[in-house]
């Protein structure tokens, strides 16, 4: 065990948890209408608790233990975290830390989905949906990428969760938004200041996410931090200038959205590219996600309330593919297209496609099943009066 | 007695209040309201969505006054609330049957 | 000196400070009425400053130096932090870090008390009360549990402050609430979104609190983090389902309160129990604190504005006792009832009882003395108009 | 490379970034009028992105590489961070971490300036101004103090940025406030609760700033943390009691302002003084900054909207000079006046004076040039209606 | 001239505004108010405490109109504000002695 | 029919509402307003700046009633809103030409 690495991983875990509560809660809470704030943040908090409990019971085991169907999913040997003791190690750090660190990734993935169905999903349906989704979608994908399953063995690169976290939640969100249908009325973001706090915490927390994914306090972690910073800033400015250039005012929501797009896109690449690669990834992600969230969405007409697909789905895809282009051997041991390795881009494409199909199909089926148990959507009246009062009995005064 | 209701631009409130004070009017009630009229609102964009904001922030002032001050009060408000641009607002005058001061129970003009 | 341990303890100190400012300030600020927000958060911030100053002058010395009455309290050899130099060590970390780390515990304990007297206590009285209380109650209890005094030598287990922090502030709050009497009018929580931020920061910060109490970046810290996460999530869900089950809606304040109850209850146990023990501690704490804060309080009729007793007092007691039940030798070196050691539960009971009596009596006496200097309670008019405007001359617009 | 040091520096970087987003954004956002909140926080966020991009392109190189005019500024050998690889070290930590750590200092310095021109500066002018200012003012001063340039070689002490960050932004703010002229109307702080969150994050983040400036997880870092805590708390109370003593109520904004003044003043001293020195630095800074921000400002009549000069400029100067008085050889290897070394105070004075003149002159010239490109000030109508709506097309509802 | 004051459900405001526009009414003033009536409020629970919320959010619309449009305006508001459930609200009509447009100083019907 | 408008201290609202209920008045509309009058405001200090707060928070209650209840309603409000200190507020009475209940279309006194 290395105390320095452990110190950093304990810290990273705190940072990633901070991304969800209060990070995502505030980002989302600031963008909904006033009568749905409590609902939005309660969903995030409930998911944080729920996913923790499931991870303890069986999720960690499904994602990271060895099982009989190891290509797709882990086994049951760590049920109730059996076997995780004070002295168990995972590399140079205690396994207990690894368990919680990984848990925080599962939490944020689930929490992000809520953005797509905000202001209209029924609380109990969400609870059941997330519980099933974590076990049938998140845990297997996580296993396939990081737990020694299919995609890992193919050589797909995903440093910190471009596929596992972002494409995963982006597609799940898109499917859920389509299944639930449009909101009766879209509301102006009630208080973007909350979204500023949320985005800031995401940014800072993402250092735990990306640099933490080095699972060590070393140069790899440092470089991951550096490229994260560059991509984020570039994407923020790219979105802002895109907006400005297209005749709109440079908005707060714009620059925040751009920064998040940058964070998302650099995620799979963080351990593989250098500063210049990061700059281009940020630039491209900022512009593409701007286009996806403002033009594409309107063209296709789905109501992804808070652009989970437009930012996480699209940004994650952009990042995963660009990893195959900008990866530098000297940094992460894998070469990309620019260093002459065409194969990696193809592998990245396979990783993306697989995740999209797997998640898309499973999410759809799970939603349909949940709908048999309890309606997915809040009643029209609840939606009109606001979910805060009707589903949680509380209001922001 | 009359109730003069003026719907004005929020930034003119202090002006009006001071000028009314000079007239010897020492009480009024203000409310934040939203107005719709000739002055055009604006459009806000949040990602791909457009929101038309038709209602603009205005302040409604209500002043109860004795009949004889009516002309002066209207004149004063008109002058001190005016910026000359669309949206300066309106003054409405209605008849007050009765005014009561709660603290003392006084009624009529002396209650104002 | 170990750099890895030091890194983690520097970080933990940041985390625990974050729990109070802005954590507790926001948790409390969101639950009071609009006219008392400034007052509530100013109290928290003032206490943070005041306790720091006192700790520097004499508090640290009273808690951690050797004194002639060592069973109960430390001595004066570290007045003004004399002797704490760049090279002084405390275990494997610099003593300077230990001083601040411990200080943050004193701060939060004092800050939590304010919740019980919110919306009605006079600012100057609070200032004087806290100053005396820190020296006469906190420092001795801290010494007795962690500074080598009475309770430590008896073998009472308190990993991160179940007695020192939570029972201590819970009882002090209860006594203060009773001495001050009921508020003239209870107000609806003004903005629970603030409480969400506060609770989230408490949760994340608590990793510094509990895992930091290992005073090292090792497997013990990792396990403390893991069990904290499990107990918190479980308690949050337990409260939520309890509420839901009793015919109310699943509320944000409910799940937040449950999570805090879980954090409190796992505190004394964090270094001694495993994941399964943590699950049960969370489950029991969530339900018992729900009952204490919604039923018991109404039955007994005291006005503990923000449930300092119902959550910290009760949760701390539950946790301290359950530590005696679920402690596992393999984890913290001490066995509990389930491993056949009945004695520990009895010791835990003694620790709880001693703290309750000591704190209760001293708090009462101190309050009575302060009341001779300046009235404990704000005037009726101040209370009606709001303490913000009347005691601080400021308002939230 | 030392993993423990690296862990702490990764963490410190997170902490310092947190100081700006959301720290400074919230501190400032809470103090402006409602119609300028979005504008204020967008400025902070934009600056965070912009400075990052510039730092990557040329800023880091200008500040820290060797150049032909090394006395004043670095060279171009690290353009686009060329040469910063996974294995490059800076002392005991990866250079990548050092790059981002230092970047966060540049970011906060630029972000702080906005407070002086809040509620009236034109967004595009600010963008251009900051871009030039970072390269012509920040990078050189940073180089002269920390990059081996002039002031460093003279022996001026500045542990964590008294001159580089605080005097620098304070003077730039003052000059900008004067050049831009008074606001048409001053507004009451809209929501001090935001300022509380901001100040709290500054406080916690400042541990990364000051203790991180030890660039190691050791006793030096620990002592820096300890003295930071003491000075901050003392200054907070000093301001509060000063205000109270002068017949005003003890206000939230007062105690927050005092705490920030203390943080600022201890910054240059953090690695050189002990607890008692910290106490006096806090005490003096709290009182002097109170005087500067409430009396001096009114006397001189400039409109420094959020007291960047009164707190950062004055506090930084007080701290830099007092470092020359309270420095203790046993702590940082340099003796101050109280240990009989009169020369240090003189050196500190030179450092202060040089920075004031350099920054003052350059800031003035840059502003005049920017004004030729685009008006520095928003139009009267924009100011009246609020910059939120007019410059960013958004509102807080 | 008449002042028509309608207290309606907030979600009906856009409806009413558009229908009035069609009638040629291009100015109105809206205020957020809280109403108490037959429509029952609700109870909120925060930990052990119960809070009865008797007042419900409503919007008050004020429209000054020339006498001759009165019937049409009432009819329009009634139709477009109606949901058929308790709490749809009320329309009050009062006499306006005078109306002044601040910007131009116009008085009477043309000031509306 | 009459419209009784009372501007009172916010903390008296529940009192007044309950007492009116006892009178058989089951509907009213409340608005947060800011009042200026004899009751003096205060000064707030934020660092070196002084801000005079002249307007104090008040609540405006509007109650439409049939003519015959007028005296009783005024009496009730006067008593239950009174604290005896400056700033207790005013009651204004105006004539209502017409009242319509939107839900049912009822008009006149039965619409109240
Ligand atoms: N018919 C009306 N009834 C009630 N309020 C009105 C009416 N017409 C205008 N107003 C109020 O007066 C404000 C200013 O009116 P507007 O037509 O924009 O400008 P102007 O009065 O300068 O022509 C509006 O925002 C609205 O609040
Ligand atoms: N007598 C009244 N005076 C003033 N406002 C009233 C009166 N009665 C009702 N209102 C307003 O009208 C709203 C709707 O009234 P309510 O009795 O709930 O439903 P409905 O009008 O459908 O019978 C109330 O919320 C209140 O704002
Ligand atoms: N002439 C007036 N017109 C409209 N509102 C008034 C008038 N005078 C007083 N008010 C309202 O009544 C409130 C109380 O009045 P004030 O003069 O302070 O006390 P009091 O009624 O006890 O003499 C004021 O805050 C204001 O809202």
| Nearest atom, ligand 3, residue B103 CA | 22
Nearest-Cα distance to chain D for F58, in Å, is: 20
Q: How far is the CA of D183 from the centre of ligand 1 (A)?
A: 29
Q: A96, C222: Cβ pair inside 8 Å?
A: yes
Q: A200, D2: Cβ pair inside 8 Å?
A: no
Q: Is E85 in the pocket of ligand 2 (CB under 6 A)?
A: no
Report phi then psi at E32, rounded to 5: -75, 120
- Tokens, residue D275: 């607890």
Reported as a pLDDT band with limits 50, 70 and 90, residue D47 is: very high
When pLDDT is averaged across residues D267-274 and rounded to a whole number, the result is 98
Dump strand ranges (E) for chain C.
89-90, 93-94
How would DSSP label each residue in A207-246? HHHHTGGG-SSSHHHHHHHHHHHHHHHHHHHHHHHHHHHT
Q: Alpha-carbon distance C200 to A108, whole Å?
A: 14
pLDDT score, position C91: 97
Q: Alpha-carbon distance C330 to C339, whole Å?
A: 11
When pLDDT is averaged across residues C66-89 and rounded to a whole number, the result is 96
Q: How far is the CA of B35 from the centre of ligand 1 (A)?
A: 6
Q: Whose CA is nearest to atom 7 of ligand 2?
A: F27
Ligand number, closest to the Cα atom of E82: 2
Whether residue D397 is predicted with pLDDT greater than 90 in this model: the reply is: no
pLDDT score, position A397: 79
pLDDT score, position B106: 95
pLDDT score, position E48: 87
Q: What is the pLDDT of residues B68-106, one digit of tens each?
A: 999 999 999 999 999 999 999 999 999 999 999 999 999
pLDDT score, position D362: 98
Residue E94: asked if its preceding bond is cis (omega within 30°), the reply is no
Query: Where does residue F86 fall: left (phi above 0), alpha (psi -120 to 50 degrees), or beta otherwise?
Result: beta
Q: Alpha-carbon distance E106 to F6, whole Å?
A: 31
* Total CB pairs under 8 A between chain B and E: 80
The alpha carbon of residue E100 and the mean position of all alpha carbons in its chain are separated, in whole angstroms, by 21
CA nearest to F11 within chain C: C384
- Tokens, residue D248: 């005003």
- Tokens, residue C329: 């030798």
Q: Chains C vs F: touching, with 3+ CB pairs under 8 Å? A: yes
pLDDT score, position D234: 98
ipTM score of complex: 0.97
- H helix intervals, chain D: 3-18, 25-31, 37-54, 60-64, 95-113, 123-133, 139-146, 150-154, 168-180, 192-210, 219-245, 252-266, 275-291, 297-300, 314-326, 329-332, 342-373, 380-385, 387
Q: What is the pLDDT along chain A (397 residues), one digit of tens a residue?
A: 999 999 999 999 999 999 999 999 999 999 999 999 999 999 999 999 999 999 999 999 999 999 999 999 999 999 999 999 999 999 999 999 999 999 999 999 999 999 999 999 999 999 999 999 999 999 999 999 999 999 999 999 999 999 999 999 999 999 999 999 999 999 999 999 999 999 999 999 999 999 999 999 999 999 999 999 999 999 999 999 999 999 999 999 999 999 999 999 999 999 999 999 999 999 999 999 999 999 999 999 999 999 999 999 999 999 999 999 999 999 999 999 999 999 999 999 999 999 999 999 999 999 999 999 999 999 999 999 999 999 999 999 7
The alpha carbon of residue C135 and the mean position of all alpha carbons in its chain are separated, in whole angstroms, by 16
User: Please, what sign has the CA dihedral across residues D340, D344, D350, D352?
Assistant: negative
pLDDT score, position A235: 98
Q: What is the pLDDT of residues E43-79, one digit of tens each?
A: 999 998 999 999 999 999 999 999 999 999 999 999 9
Q: Is E7 in the pocket of ligand 2 (CB under 6 A)?
A: yes
- Tokens, residue A148: 């020694």
Q: What is the pLDDT of residues C326-350, one digit of tens each?
A: 999 999 999 999 999 999 999 999 9
Q: Is E6 in the pocket of ligand 2 (CB under 6 A)?
A: no
Q: Alpha-carbon distance D250 to D246, whole Å?
A: 10
Average pLDDT of the residues of chain D: 97
When pLDDT is averaged across residues C236-250 and rounded to a whole number, the result is 97
Q: D188, F44: Cβ pair inside 8 Å?
A: yes
Q: What is the pLDDT of residues C345-384, one digit of tens each?
A: 999 999 999 999 999 999 999 999 999 999 999 999 999 9
Q: Is D12 within 8 Å of D211 (Cβ atoms)?
A: yes
Q: What percent of chain C has pLDDT over 90?
A: 99
**CATH code at D3-390:** 1.10.3430.10
Residue with tokens 């009360």: C129
Q: F44, C395: Cβ pair inside 8 Å?
A: yes
Q: Which of F10, F20, F29 to mutate to test the interface with E (most CBs of E within 10 A)?
A: F29
> Over the Cα atoms of chain F, what is R_g?
17
Q: Alpha-carbon distance D280 to C80, whole Å?
A: 12
Q: Alpha-carbon distance F112 to F110, whole Å?
A: 5
pLDDT score, position F73: 97
Ligand number, closest to the Cα atom of B61: 3
Q: What is the pLDDT of residues B16-56, one digit of tens each?
A: 999 999 999 999 999 999 999 999 899 999 998 999 999 99
Q: Alpha-carbon distance C239 to C256, whole Å?
A: 9
Q: Alpha-carbon distance C346 to A135, whole Å?
A: 42
Q: How far is the CA of B56 from the centre of ligand 1 (A)?
A: 10
Q: Is E37 in the pocket of ligand 2 (CB under 6 A)?
A: yes
Whether residue F48 is predicted with pLDDT greater than 90 in this model: the reply is: no
pLDDT score, position D259: 98
How would DSSP label each residue in A149-190? SHHHHHT---SS-IIIIIIHHHHHHHHHHHHH---SS----S
Q: What is the pLDDT of residues D59-104, one digit of tens each?
A: 999 999 999 999 999 999 999 999 999 999 999 999 999 999 999 9
DSSP SS3 for C55: helix
């Amino acid at each position: 065990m290395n105390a320095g690495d452990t110190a950093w991983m304990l810290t990273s875990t705190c940072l990633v948890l901070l991304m969800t509560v209060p990070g995502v809660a505030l980002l989302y809470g600031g963008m909904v209408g006033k009568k749905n704030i409590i609902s939005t943040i309660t969903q995030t908090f409930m998911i944080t608790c729920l996913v923790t409990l499931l991870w303890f019971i069986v999720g960690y085991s499904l994602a990271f233990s060895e099982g009989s169907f190891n290509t797709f999913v882990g086994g049951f040997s760590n049920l109730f975290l059996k076997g995780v003791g004070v002295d168990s190690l995972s590399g140079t750090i205690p396994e207990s830390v690894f368990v919680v660190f990984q848990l925080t990734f599962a939490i944020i993935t689930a929490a992000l989905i809520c953005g797509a169905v905000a202001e209209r999903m029924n609380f109990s349906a969400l609870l059941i949906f997330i519980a099933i989704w974590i076990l049938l979608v998140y845990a297997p994908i996580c296993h396939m990428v990081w737990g020694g399953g299919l995609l890992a063995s193919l050589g797909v690169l995903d440093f910190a969760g471009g596929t596992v976290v972002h494409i995963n939640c982006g597609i799940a969100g898109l499917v859920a938004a389509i299944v639930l249908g449009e909101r009766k009325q879209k509301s102006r973001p009630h208080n973007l200041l909350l979204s500023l706090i949320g985005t800031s915490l995401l940014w800072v927390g993402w250092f735990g996410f990306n640099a933490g994914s080095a699972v060590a306090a070393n140069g790899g972690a440092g470089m991951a931090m550096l490229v994260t910073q560059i991509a984020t800033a570039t994407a923020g400015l790219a979105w802002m200038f895109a907006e400005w250039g297209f005749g709109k005012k440079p908005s707060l929501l714009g620059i925040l959205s751009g920064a998040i797009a940058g964070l998302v896109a650099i995620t799979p690449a963080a351990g593989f590219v250098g500063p210049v690669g990061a700059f281009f990834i940020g630039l491209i992600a900022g512009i593409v996600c701007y286009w996806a969230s403002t033009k594409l969405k309107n063209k296709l007409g789905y109501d992804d309330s808070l652009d989970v697909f437009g930012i996480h789905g699209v940004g994650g895809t952009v990042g995963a593919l660009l990893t195959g282009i900008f990866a530098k051997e000297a940094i992460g041991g894998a070469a990309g297209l620019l260093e002459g390795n065409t194969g990696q881009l193809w592998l990245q494409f396979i990783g993306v496609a697989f995740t999209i199909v797997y998640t898309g199909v499973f999410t759809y089926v799970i939603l349909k099943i949940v709908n048999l148990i309890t309606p997915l959507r809040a009643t029209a009246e609840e939606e009109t009066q606001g979910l805060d009062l009707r589903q949680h009995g509380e209001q922001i005064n | 007695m009359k109730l003069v209701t003026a719907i004005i631009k929020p930034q003119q409130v202090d002006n009006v209040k001071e000028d009314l004070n000079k007239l010897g009017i020492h009480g009024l009630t203000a409310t934040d309201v939203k107005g719709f009229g000739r002055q055009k609102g604006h459009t806000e964009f949040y990602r791909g969505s457009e929101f038309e904001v038709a209602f603009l922030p205005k302040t409604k002032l209500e002043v109860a006054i004795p009949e004889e001050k009516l002309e002066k009060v209207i004149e004063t408000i008109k002058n001190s609330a005016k910026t000359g641009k669309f949206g300066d607002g309106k003054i409405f005058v209605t008849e007050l049957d009765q005014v009561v001061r709660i603290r003392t129970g006084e009624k009529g003009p002396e209650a104002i």
